[in-house]
Amino acid sequence: MPRFKLTIEYDGTPFVGWQRQDNGPSVQAAVEAALKAYCQTDITVFVAGRTDAGVHALGQVAHADIPRDDTAEVVANAINAHLRPHPIAVISAARVADDFHARFSAIERQYEYRIVNRRAPLALDRDRAWSIPAPLNATAMHDAAQALIGKHDFTSFRASACQADSPIRTLDELSVARQADDIIVRACARSFLHHQVRNIVGTLTLVGDGKWTKSDVEAALAARDRAKAGPTAPAVGLYLVAVKYPA
């Protein structure tokens, strides 16, 4: 049965997250319903990263075994036709080897977190960014972020309900840059802990408004205690931007 890699974009606002749940609509359920309408059979979709409620994706990756010998273009167009009116789109589809797995084959996940740093409230970008009216020093945030790059015990930056076996993760990139009123936090790693990026962003905002220094971030990391780090940034500003696989 042909296996297809699906690159998916979605607005996470109306969903309880990627994963199928009983307490509300999910992205996974919508995609699987579209596949069932297309193929007339139940198909399970496997995903690279199970995003939380309200989190968005520009380049989520999933795979599915589709019992039709259609081209990748036909597969993408058919799924999109059945996804309407959900704010979900299959950007591209590609036929892949049978051993490809959206989650386990991934070698890097890239997230971006968007803060709009201005006094005026959000009109067009409501539910798509974290609005912070007080001025933030993005340069200081970037400098403090460098203390978190590398292999560390990220207990201080994971959710208390995180189900990962180990808090050890290797953060390959963490940058903060201002673009006019936007402050973009970019994080890249093979894998992340639950709420890791949002907890890092919340902590870095304490540096941005002058309440913390880089030394405070280092101390929070060393403490291995969630209570010693900053707040959890809201889901609205987080985007799964891309997932990388071996060539």
The dihedrals phi and psi of 71, each to the nearest 5 degrees, come to -70, 165
CB–CB of 229/157 below 8 Å?
Answer: yes
Cα distance between residue 49 and residue 18, in whole Å: 8
* Residues annotated as part of the active site: 52
**Residue among 53, 20, 48 at smallest CA distance from 192:** 48
Helices (H), 58-117: 72-83
Question: β-strands 238-244, 108-116: how paired?
Answer: antiparallel
Burial class (CB in 10 A: 0-12, 13-18, 19+), 221: buried
